[in-house]
Structure 1
Amino acid sequence: MAAFLQINTNRSREAQALAFHTMKVKEADVLCISEPNHIPDHLGWVGSTDRKCALFFQQNQYVLRTGSGAGYAWADLKDIRIYSCYISPNCTFNEFDVFLYRLFGSVRGATSEVIVAGDFNAHSPAWGSHKTDPRGDALLEFAESLNLVLLNDGKVPTFPRANSFLDLTLVTKGIMRKIGSWGVLEDESLSDHQYVFFNTRMPVSSVQTEKNGWSWRKLDTDRLDKFIAEAITPLSMTAEASSTVLSELLRNACNAKRFIQMGEEAMPLVVTNHCGTPEGMLTPAYEQGARTGWSTRCDFEANNREEAKASTGNTQHVPCAGALPEPMEGGQACSSPKREIGDTFGPDLWD
């Protein structure tokens, strides 16, 4: 069984630190964060290209591929692709539409069951809101086009201050039948949003947990001190919470060597890849203006790109709106796992 914790930390340092503690207490495998305070360049993290949302994994998860775009980050696990999303309430509807357009192309390229979790700042009675807005209508169209099912029951608001239901969880029908539970937690989050916790009977890892073991003779204390100094810790916590966070921090630091030595067979993460399309570069398929439906627009996109390749002879990359998964946006298997994992995490603490 796989467990997921979802939260908008509202860029709060304390809320993000508490989210790690809650993840441990609830025994969650994956943490989906909107508006993080910080996205470390450490093993176990996947962040969006605009750094507004991220995924964090427990150490024993087997992540096959990762990818990201503006407003979303994703990772392929054993039989699941999980997304963390965020779009600001201050952006225009056109910007929101472009965000959904690009997210649609990424989700459509998945070959496994999909979970889309995030703060979309959209309103609809379908998930408990007392009103509807154009964003809500667009999001419902997005979900319908991808055959996604909403897990929110509309009973408990995820943004209590405004009695709003902003944090949503969408899944494919294959996962819907295997959801064990979904709910908004009453636990303190130190954010203006509440935690969302859900689990599924589908496993996220096919790798057996290895027994921890470290050699103190190889420990580089200077690098260990630097790792701890760069880690996010709250300004104030209870003694019990502080001991838990410190224990987890030390275990993560000591396990760095183990991840690098595992190599290709049990590689937890690969380097995040994403589409390099400049913001605002849209092809004629999108600029038609009228909402012609997600599938139709993406088919137009594919035809335009094929025609461009044929006319230019360029078979490597044709700039696009990012709606269809590019080789870079879709993520790639790591061809040199030891080198790339080392680059992602930083210096080896045990050399």
Structure 2
Amino acid sequence: MLQPQIADEHDTDILILCKPYRMRHTQDEITNETKTAGIWVRGAARARITARGVGDDYVWARVGAVTYVSVYLTPNWAVAEFLAKVALLKDGLRALPRDLLVAGDLNARAIECGMTETNRRGRLLLETAASLYLVVKNTGDIPTYGRPGFGDSIPDVTMTTDRILPRVRQWWVFKRYTASDHQYIASEVAEETKSARRRIQHPPP
């Protein structure tokens, strides 16, 4: 399994996961009922978890001064169901402890995330993000998803509240083999009162 290996190689503290069906470290992993969203907090960082919770399509964990959220929005929903799910997500995020780092497979297209166009789902998600003071952190236009016959896209998005945006020092897409249609994405978050950095990685399966 590549996830633990890559996490070890890059000294990863927190993995934000989407559809983590192959994960087996259930004692440390926070998942929703359908196993489509998960967070794995590793090593010494586990002692810094102060709260956690589960929604229909997301999970969250408060680690230190930051609340990390994993979200998966399936592309199979009809428009009405997608609207209802995003409304529930918005209410859930609004109730969480600040500051937020939200990441996951949102299955939407938006220019702000590196795509060449913004579709209806993308517009709705950007409007929702703006209402929650979330800023897209994606950098560049490297595809995070590619499948023969389906083309390349960037459905995997990272957003943060504007107050912690300056502390997210890097955001990049891994170009190595992942055994998945998705690429691993990693970012580094500086502690609010320390020079040490926390690395967050959200690899889909």
TM interval, shorter chain, is 0.7 to 0.9
Question: Does residue 125 of structure 2 align to residue 139 of structure 1?
Answer: yes
RMSD: 1.8
Q: Identify the residue that residue 49 of structure 2 maps to in structure 1.
A: 63
Q: For residue 89 of structure 1, what is the amino acid of its counterpart?
A: P
* Equivalent AA in structure 1 for residue 86 of structure 2: L
- In structure 1, the gaps of 5 or more residues are 1-16, 206-351
Q: 1:184: Cα distance to partner? A: 0.6
Cα offset for 1:64? 1.1
| Alignment counterpart, residue 46 of structure 1, candidates 6, 27, 30 | 30
Structure 2: which 5+ runs fail to align? 195-205
Contact between 2:115 and 2:141, CA under 8 Å: does it hold in 1? no
8 A contact 1:78–1:204 mirrored in 2 = no
Match of 1:97 among 74, 83, 87: 83
- Give 1:51 deviation, angstroms: 1.4
2:175 is the alignment partner of 1:189: no
Report % sequence identity: 28
TM-score, structure 1 as length reference:
0.51
How much has 1:39 moved relative to structure 2?
5.0
Paired residue for 1:171?
160
Aligned pair count reads 189
Residues 204/69 of structure 1: CA separation in 2 closer, same or farther (3 Å cut): farther
Decide which structure has greater strand share.
2
Q: Does 1:18 align with 2:7?
A: no
Deviation (angstroms), 1:55: 0.5
Tell me, yes or no, if structure 1 residue 202 matches structure 2 residue 198.
no
Q: 1:180 aligns with which of 169, 172, 177?
A: 169
Residue 97 of structure 2 aligns with which residue? 111
Alignment of 1:225-240 (within 5 A): none
How far is the alpha carbon of 1:103 from its aligned partner? 1.5
1:48–1:69 CA contact under 8 A, matched in 2? yes
**Residue aligning to 1:226:** none
SS at match of 1:81: strand
CA–CA distance in structure 2, aligned partners of residues 174 and 195 of structure 1:
25
Distance 1:117 1:73, change over 3 A: same
In 2, the alpha carbon distance for the partners of 1:52 and 1:63 equals: 21
What per-residue deviation string (whole Å, max 9, x for no partner) do you get for residues 91-119 of structure 1?
11222222211211121112321000000
Q: Is the 8 A contact 1:160 1:192 kept in 2?
A: yes
- Give secondary structure in 2 for the equivalent of 1:163: strand
Tell me, in whole angstroms, the C-alpha distance in 2 between the residues paired with 1:42 and 1:155.
Answer: 34
